[in-house]
């Protein structure tokens, strides 16, 4: 014992108390712990102190530790080092005092050694991460230890932190703060060397660096056998993608060129099929591809990992289009001219669209047809039906089959109706050109304006003709409707409009008829009374003229005056007042005797016996001539001039109308209206035509001129010079 005793003022001295500087064995700062007693080397009275409360012990009466260190100097002289105390040498000052002599103390500063824990980063190979979706590895620090225990990566006391890392250039890998590695999506498969350093949070310089391996795996690529939904081979089209069920990493593939996509790197299709496997995995089926199941093989490879591939054979289903022959009723075809219907296939569909009849791909053909026996109908290759001319009207059942050119067994059969209509038969009211009722005749056909199918009818018994099946005419008219549609008008038919009803029926369709009432016009003949100047009638004896109607015509022919049908009658006449003329029923005019000569205007009206109102009035001239008056040169028997005397009448040889004149004042007589005798002769021409020779008239031949004029016609005269013979007196012997 190292002691010193002194005697001081106190009789009894305190023992020497010596606190000795100590450096503790290190305490691992991570878990913390308790040091050995700092008092281990301290002495009391030269002997190791005993820390306690008993006499002879020492007590730690005060202590100081580094601020914030958390160190605690315990009563027994040890120092408690809390967990997560950074490594280092901590100066801890304390004072020990003797229990017996509390003022007998010693203060010292010792060193508490806190050590860093062992930190060990261990090489790791991560479980593989699928490079397609990418992901996060397990922590590279999974096997790393701190103080022999697995590290906890974090920022808390007792944790470690990754302070630095390196990844392959361009890999996109990221070492996360928690020690995991983020593998970005679409990272190619491979083993990636990743180096990192972990350092203790408590002791940032307490580090360990290591290189580990991050394993990136290729995703599973699986091409799955596919049977496509059918594609209609008529229009063709594009299938759904054959890759529709294919998977990459268990998810449906995306076909493309981007990272994470797959590409179709090769394919085979049936020879001659025309199928094309498209880059997007669909298959183009060309138009007019026959129906069937087509084996198509293809290979998909991952864009990220071009050698990560899968090959499969799928089935492309090409379906026949729906072919539907639809019952059709054609627009009617007029059976008279016949014609061609619209196509029976007009409503038929192939793949829901109207069919095209032909021989080209995508067309349909009529492969068979049946028509009613004896109908003459013909189903044409284009689907139309030829209806021959003069086909009776009716609904004709026509059956036909259409088959697809692309798929000759893809057919549809249907029965349609071909409607053959009766032509429009139209009897049109007609008013015939007039038929002259006098001679009668035949009208134009009443059917002249009638139409069958819009064209003039032909009356006859042949197909396409019409027949007059019935007719009515006015009772008693005598009209006859002839088979050819004309109407016979008998001679002497009174003029008028005759209603004639008739029915025409089609020969082809005897019930296709039309009835109409037409008008047969019977005209009165032209009646023309022509101004006539009659041959003269000698007014002296009078007489009868020729008929004034001699030039009159009825229907252009000379009239016949009478009461029979076709004759004319004189229904009225006027003659000059006082003329005594009489217009006779036969058209002649009676001129009474002693009618003065002249032109007499005679008006008369002739009317047709058949048509009493068909008349013509005219004024004609009746010529009454003066009779020939002829004074004839006469030589009178001689008159003895001595006694004188009276001659015979100078008019003895004169004639009026060829007959000896009668000199007088009565009608039919003549008068001597003037006379001349030789001057101085004394002769006197007497009114009776004799000449008075006065007595003593010298003998000689005396020229005596005189004029006789007709009493009826005072201007009808004749002048003559006659010879009056005066004889000398006879001498007596």
| Residue closest to 576 by CA, chosen among 622, 611, 616 | 622
Topology annotation, domain 425-523: Immunoglobulin-like (2.60.40)
Q: Are 684 and 677 in contact (CB under 8 A)?
A: yes
Q: Residue 456 above 50 pLDDT?
A: yes
Q: Residue 732 above 60 pLDDT?
A: no
pLDDT at 392: 94
pTM: 0.51
Q: What percent of the chain has pLDDT over 70?
A: 99
Round to whole Å and give the CA distance between 369 and 331: 19
Round to whole Å and give the CA distance between 135 and 184: 6
Topology annotation, domain 527-625: Immunoglobulin-like (2.60.40)
Beta-carbon contacts of residue 251 (< 8 Å; ≥ 6 apart): none
For 309-326, the pLDDT digits (tens) are 999 999 999 999 999 999
Three-class SS of 8-23 = CCCCCCCCCEECCCCE
pLDDT at 2: 75
Q: Are 600 and 621 in contact (CB under 8 A)?
A: yes
What CATH class has 221-319? mainly beta
CA torsion, ordered 156, 158, 163, 167, to nearest 10 deg: -100
Topology annotation, domain 119-217: Immunoglobulin-like (2.60.40)
Q: Are 244 and 250 in contact (CB under 8 A)?
A: no
Q: Are 657 and 627 in contact (CB under 8 A)?
A: yes
Beta-bridge partner residues of 720: 706
Q: What percent of the chain has pLDDT over 90?
A: 96
Domain with CATH 2.60.40.60 in the chain: 17-115, 119-217, 221-319, 323-421, 425-523, 527-625, 629-727
CATH no. for 629-727 = 2.60.40.60
CATH no. for 17-115 = 2.60.40.60
Both structure tokens of 607 = 């009317």
Q: Residue 304 above 70 pLDDT?
A: yes
Round to whole Å and give the CA distance between 92 and 24: 11
| Residue closest to 109 by CA, chosen among 67, 69, 70, 62 | 62
Mean pLDDT, the chain, as a whole number?
95
Q: Residue 733 above 70 pLDDT?
A: no
Q: Which CATH superfamily is domain 323-421 in?
A: Cadherins (2.60.40.60)
Round to whole Å and give the CA distance between 510 and 174: 103
For 526-562, the pLDDT digits (tens) are 999 999 999 999 999 999 999 999 999 999 999 999 9
Round to whole Å and give the CA distance between 192 and 213: 6
For 378-434, the pLDDT digits (tens) are 999 999 999 999 999 999 999 999 999 999 999 999 999 999 999 999 999 999 999
Confidence bin at 5 (pLDDT 50/70/90): confident
Q: Specify the residue for token string 């229907």.
A: 555
pLDDT at 8: 67
Both structure tokens of 130 = 């699928």
Q: Residue 9 above 80 pLDDT?
A: no
């Amino acid at each position: 014992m190292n002691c010193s005793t002194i005697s001081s003022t106190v009789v009894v001295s305190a023992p020497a108390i010596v606190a000795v500087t100590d450096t503790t064995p290190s305490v691992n700062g991570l878990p913390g712990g308790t040091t050995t007693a700092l008092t281990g080397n301290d002495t009391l009275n030269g002997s190791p102190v005993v820390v306690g409360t008993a006499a002879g012990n020492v007590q730690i009466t005060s202590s100081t530790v580094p601020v914030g260190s958390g160190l605690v100097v315990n009563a027994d002289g040890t120092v408690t080092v809390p967990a997560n105390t950074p490594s280092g040498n901590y100066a801890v000052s304390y004072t020990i005092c003797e229990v017996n002599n509390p003022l007998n103390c010693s203060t010292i500063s010792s060193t508490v050694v806190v050590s860093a824990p062992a930190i060990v980063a261990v090489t790791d190979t991560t479980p593989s991460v699928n490079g397609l979706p990418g992901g996060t590895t397990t922590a590279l620090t999974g096997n790393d230890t701190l103080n022999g225990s697995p590290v906890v990566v974090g920022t808390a006391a007792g944790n470690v932190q990754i302070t630095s890392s390196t990844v392959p250039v361009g890999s996109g890998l990221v070492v996360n703060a928690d020690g995991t590695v983020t593998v970005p999506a679409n990272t190619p498969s491979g083993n990636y060397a990743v180096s990192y350093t972990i350092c203790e949070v408590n002791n940032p310089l307490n580090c360990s660096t290591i290189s580990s391996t991050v394993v990136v795996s290729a995703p599973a690529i699986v091409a799955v056998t596919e049977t496509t939904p059918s594609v209609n081979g008529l229009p063709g089209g594009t299938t759904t993608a054959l890759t529709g069920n294919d998977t990459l990493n268990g998810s449906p593939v995306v076909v493309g060129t981007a990272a994470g996509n797959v590409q179709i790197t090769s394919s085979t299709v049936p020879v001659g099929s025309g199928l094309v496997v498209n880059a997007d995995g669909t298959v183009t089926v060309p138009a007019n591809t026959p129906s069937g199941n087509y084996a198509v093989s293809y290979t998909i490879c991952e864009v990220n990992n071009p050698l990560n591939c899968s090959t499969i054979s799928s089935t492309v289903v090409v379906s026949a289009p729906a072919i539907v022959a639809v019952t059709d009723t054609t627009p009617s075809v007029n059976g008279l001219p016949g014609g061609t219907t619209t196509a029976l296939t007009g409503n038929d569909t192939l793949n829901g669209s109207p069919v095209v009849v032909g021989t080209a791909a995508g067309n349909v053909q009529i492969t068979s047809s049946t028509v009613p026996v004896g109908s003459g109908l013909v189903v044409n290759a284009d689907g139309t039906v030829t209806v021959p001319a003069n086909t009776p009207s009716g609904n004709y059942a026509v059956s036909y089959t259409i088959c697809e050119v692309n798929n000759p067994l893809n057919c549809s059969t249907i029965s349609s109706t071909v409607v053959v209509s009766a032509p429009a038969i139209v009897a049109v009211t007609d008013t015939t050109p007039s038929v002259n009722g006098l001679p009668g005749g035949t009208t134009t056909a009443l059917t002249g304006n009638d139409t069958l199918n819009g064209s003039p009818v032909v009356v006859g018994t042949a197909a396409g003709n019409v027949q007059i099946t019935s007719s009515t005419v006015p009772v008693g008219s005598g009209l006859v409707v002839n088979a050819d549609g004309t109407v016979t008008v008998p001679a002497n038919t009174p003029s008028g409009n005759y209603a004639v009803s008739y029915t025409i029926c089609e020969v082809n369709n005897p019930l296709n008829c039309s009835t109409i009432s037409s008008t047969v016009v019977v005209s009165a003949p032209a009646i023309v009374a022509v101004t006539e100047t009659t041959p003269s009638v000698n007014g002296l004896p009078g007489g009868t003229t020729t008929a004034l109607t001699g030039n009159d015509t009825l229907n252009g022919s000379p009239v016949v005056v009478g009461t029979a049908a076709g004759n004319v009658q004189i229904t009225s006449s006027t003659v000059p007042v006082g003329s005594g003329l009489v217009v006779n029923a036969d058209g002649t005019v009676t001129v009474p005797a002693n009618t003065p000569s002249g032109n007499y205007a005679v008006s008369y009206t002739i009317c047709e016996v058949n048509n009493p109102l068909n008349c013509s009035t005219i004024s004609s001239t009746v010529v009454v001539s003066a009779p020939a008056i002829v004074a004839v040169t006469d030589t009178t028997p001689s008159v003895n001039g001595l006694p004188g005397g009276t001659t015979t009448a100078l008019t003895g040889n004169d004639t009026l109308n060829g007959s000896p004149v009668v000199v007088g004042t009565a009608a039919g007589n003549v008068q001597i209206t003037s006379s001349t005798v030789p001057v101085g002769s004394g002769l006197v021409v007497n009114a009776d035509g004799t000449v008075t020779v006065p007595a003593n008239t010298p003998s000689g031949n005396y020229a005596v001129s005189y004029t006789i004029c007709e009493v009826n016609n005072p201007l009808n005269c004749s002048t003559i010079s006659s010879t009056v013979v005066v004889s000398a007196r006879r001498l007596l012997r």
